[in-house]
Structure 1
């Protein structure tokens, strides 16, 4: 094809696409649905693509622009997405009319990446229902209690490392590094039944591959994510992978060897793999082969590694820059240690009200995901977005978002939203309908109890043994990274840790 012909073809295709977008835009204008005029092809993504704003702040700014609307239209490239601002409407969609919005978008193509593509997050319809029903017993209170000692053992390895490294003089750490080691060890033992000490052996395969899985800052990962999410046919054509084949091979090998060892030796552990093994030969509901087990264990690993690590980093940062919070939390920890004779129990840590408030406020301030989505599967009529607009009929395939970060930072629901204030969760004034760090409705994060316990155990042991101090490298306030689509900060989470002079002894 000659150059002139190729350019003419591209120009024609661009014009057609532009007018396709404009036709949708005119539709929203007629219905008087609030929106910001999109840029051809880029939609409302220009500030993100050109790294002028971080993703959380970009969406919050648009959220604030339409403060009188129940929802507004946002263009994710050429795809119109409806951002639901009104808490009552969020509840209507996510809970009361869940059957019309039961699916989510899967950003991993199962044909290209069978392991990552068959995860619970992206499953749809009856397949999701069966898998959710099967995996839910892994995260009951009784299972959490059984995993408590495993997590405490990982926390002890963490503290032993800090004791040797920091001592009384203290040492400055990038908290993302050391807390990701703890998170890695917790998930490895609780999900895969493998004891890993990433403090003694920082180059173990589990830890190194885990860092590769969560490296959303890499240009390659970001490009693959955006292509799969917005242009799936092109991504499939060029066989773009989110995760390397090496990752697939490693995790399949781990699950295969674990299942084989348990079958041969009669080993039973309170974890996800065990539950899936027990379901293999049942004739009802979902059944599992090694590929299915690997897919679910992998998403549990990646979510438990990445999101919990970041949450723990934000927690450590906030209690360091807010010394009154650190003091009050340490007093509560010391009280628990005295009551339990230096042997904290599952019930004791779960009963700590101020610890709970600190964790909840961290999740309000820095939710694991700045938004969550639903896909319409049955025609549904949204009420008018504003008093002078018309109702909107959603069709199967249409996307809606719930702007978690923006809701959590809305002064209408949270007085002084930019202030880190755990006390707001002690006075009973937080409205649960606008506190959704783990999502909402039946598709609420299945591992939220696991994540909360993992974070609480870490923070308990850390303040039991260490003072957290500011360092010259500490950035305050934190600045969200503009080069990624996840909630990451620029410059790292640098803090100085110093062993406490007086400790509540272990009896």
Structure 2
């Protein structure tokens, strides 16, 4: 069946399936007297994105600006009513103080259709989430990060050596998304699965190729994601699997083999699989079988392969188009190389204030996800949305959004919010209540320390060996792709990398 015919058939089914519920759902905010824009049947307030006229981030920004006096407003994510919380104090109340009332996410995987992927930490709810979070948290402490540091440095060395060798004679243009996906693939493979992979020497290794094919969110996967998130009953009716048995079985086989070898040979590594193995034999708490272990390692790979590699692309983009930032960053790198005799340590890289500022400023402009969601599980009263209004009650099943992208670009909280200015993180000009690129409250991203180490080590090793320059394909200023629901630039990430010839490098 042709893609257009298939899409038309699916949309027709959607229209019929939701026709009865449409009137009530699309009048929800009107009944509650909450500020909102009148929705379009089926598309809600997502029409500009559905017709590829506006990216989700730009649409969010437009709605955010439209209700500047409101603590929150209503937004229809297709058929799903969302309470969009603008007020930082109210966000903190919901995400932290009233966490037990808003402890769940809207999942994006059906556990029946995708039995392994559906058990991932993001998808889990209630007590099951609490138990798994408690189990996995020790994998991401500072001490564990320090133990993984050498493994990540080796991946960064492989990456920087490859690009430096390729661009010795002249600068070479790269699709940074491809390069950095290979780097993150290798770091996650070694730190989560205990597998050494070099995707630069072996570009067609199975680990990388499967990840590239399975986790490509600018393809059919993106459509399935939207269906599961916004029309879960229809996705279930159509038996629409997110990943399928090939992907799940691949990761399950890796985890099962890893566990078997470690059990037989007494191998111990500082990673999440090891901690889950140790938990199997404890008397208290749930038992974690291979499927459960695979689910957590699987989502770790998903986040590391796609989401974090995209964040790194934004970092290299801003460094490439801001030569003054690149110059200051290189000076700091040179200082660390002198202090450590060419062998940077975990403490030295973590102590780099300007590198930290560049990392943080990138995630301010381009947060890992443009909005954070929470699902109400206990009836909760919210204050009036607008001055003079009445308080309202959110009921179990209702959803709220925290518009991270818009909050972090609000001139009320950040001067010159669209300017890339790492110095704002050195001058104490940042209010942490409106900086939440990895989330907020108990459901903050469990792997945020790992992601920061991945990004900082990568930048350190890349900039010690190469200069980053804009290419003719580089869009300045950046324009977001209106065809994708994730934050991506139109035309992709393209930069020139030029090997540094004037230094004797200590490797």
TM-score by length of 1: 0.95
2:29·2:74 contact (CA, 8 Å) conserved in 1? no
1:41·1:77 contact (CA, 8 Å) conserved in 2? yes
Distance, in Å, in 2 between the alignment partners of 1:442 and 1:124 is: 13
2:31 is aligned with 1:27: yes
Q: How does 1:347-362 map onto structure 2 within 5 Å?
A: 347-362=347-362
Distance, in Å, in 2 between the alignment partners of 1:363 and 1:60 is: 17
Going from structure 1 to structure 2, the CA distance change for 1:25 and 1:308 (only over 3 Å counts) comes to closer
The offset of 1:336, in angstroms, is: 0.4
Q: How does 1:400-411 map onto structure 2 within 5 Å?
A: 400-411=400-411
Partner of 1:433: 433
SS, match of residue 367 in structure 1: coil
- Per-residue CA deviation, residues 74-119 of structure 1 (Å, 9 max, x unaligned), is 0112221100000000000000111111111111000000111100
Distance, in Å, in 2 between the alignment partners of 1:16 and 1:432 is: 44
Partner of 1:334: 334
SS, match of residue 201 in structure 1: coil
1:175·1:494 contact (CA, 8 Å) conserved in 2? yes
SS, match of residue 116 in structure 2: helix
SS, match of residue 373 in structure 1: strand
Distance, in Å, in 1 between the alignment partners of 2:246 and 2:48 is: 34
The offset of 1:390, in angstroms, is: 1.1
SS, match of residue 384 in structure 1: coil
1:144·1:450 contact (CA, 8 Å) conserved in 2? yes
Distance, in Å, in 2 between the alignment partners of 1:10 and 1:119 is: 28
Distance, in Å, in 1 between the alignment partners of 2:297 and 2:276 is: 10
SS, match of residue 91 in structure 1: helix
Going from structure 1 to structure 2, the CA distance change for 1:261 and 1:75 (only over 3 Å counts) comes to same
Which range moved further: 328-337 or 305-314? 305-314
Distance, in Å, in 2 between the alignment partners of 1:146 and 1:58 is: 42
Going from structure 1 to structure 2, the CA distance change for 1:369 and 1:494 (only over 3 Å counts) comes to same
The offset of 1:163, in angstroms, is: 2.5
2:479 is aligned with 1:475: no
Distance, in Å, in 2 between the alignment partners of 1:11 and 1:292 is: 37
Distance, in Å, in 1 between the alignment partners of 2:114 and 2:129 is: 18
Going from structure 1 to structure 2, the CA distance change for 1:159 and 1:72 (only over 3 Å counts) comes to same
Going from structure 1 to structure 2, the CA distance change for 1:68 and 1:197 (only over 3 Å counts) comes to same
Partner of 2:89: 88
CA RMSD of aligned residues (A): 1.5
- Per-residue CA deviation, residues 221-254 of structure 1 (Å, 9 max, x unaligned), is 1221121112211111111011132111110111
SS, match of residue 43 in structure 2: coil
- Per-residue CA deviation, residues 362-385 of structure 1 (Å, 9 max, x unaligned), is 000100100010011111000000
The offset of 1:505, in angstroms, is: 3.5
2:29·2:35 contact (CA, 8 Å) conserved in 1? no
Q: How does 1:208-223 map onto structure 2 within 5 Å?
A: 208-218=209-219, 220-223=220-223
- Per-residue CA deviation, residues 135-186 of structure 1 (Å, 9 max, x unaligned), is 0000000000000000000011112211321114121111111111000000
TM-score by length of 2: 0.95
1:213·1:302 contact (CA, 8 Å) conserved in 2? no
2:232 is aligned with 1:232: yes
2:78·2:230 contact (CA, 8 Å) conserved in 1? yes
The offset of 1:22, in angstroms, is: 5.0
1:363·1:437 contact (CA, 8 Å) conserved in 2? yes
2:174·2:496 contact (CA, 8 Å) conserved in 1? yes
Which runs of no fewer than 5 residues in structure 2 stay unpaired? 1-12
The size of the alignment, in residue pairs, is 495
2:157 is aligned with 1:153: no
2:22·2:41 contact (CA, 8 Å) conserved in 1? yes
Distance, in Å, in 2 between the alignment partners of 1:11 and 1:446 is: 38
The offset of 1:10, in angstroms, is: 10
The offset of 1:476, in angstroms, is: 1.3
Going from structure 1 to structure 2, the CA distance change for 1:293 and 1:434 (only over 3 Å counts) comes to same
SS, match of residue 114 in structure 1: coil
SS, match of residue 381 in structure 1: strand
Partner of 1:447: 447
Distance, in Å, in 1 between the alignment partners of 2:334 and 2:471 is: 25
Partner of 1:419: 419
Distance, in Å, in 1 between the alignment partners of 2:16 and 2:171 is: 64
- Per-residue CA deviation, residues 203-231 of structure 1 (Å, 9 max, x unaligned), is 1111011112321111x212211211122
Q: How does 1:391-406 map onto structure 2 within 5 Å?
A: 391-406=391-406
The offset of 1:27, in angstroms, is: 0.4
Distance, in Å, in 2 between the alignment partners of 1:285 and 1:87 is: 36
Which range moved further: 56-65 or 475-484? 475-484
2:148·2:270 contact (CA, 8 Å) conserved in 1? yes
Distance, in Å, in 2 between the alignment partners of 1:271 and 1:134 is: 12
The offset of 1:51, in angstroms, is: 1.0
Q: How does 1:241-252 map onto structure 2 within 5 Å?
A: 241-252=241-252
2:307 is aligned with 1:307: yes
1:342·1:504 contact (CA, 8 Å) conserved in 2? no
Q: How does 1:97-176 map onto structure 2 within 5 Å?
A: 97-176=98-177
1:83·1:403 contact (CA, 8 Å) conserved in 2? yes
2:26·2:44 contact (CA, 8 Å) conserved in 1? no
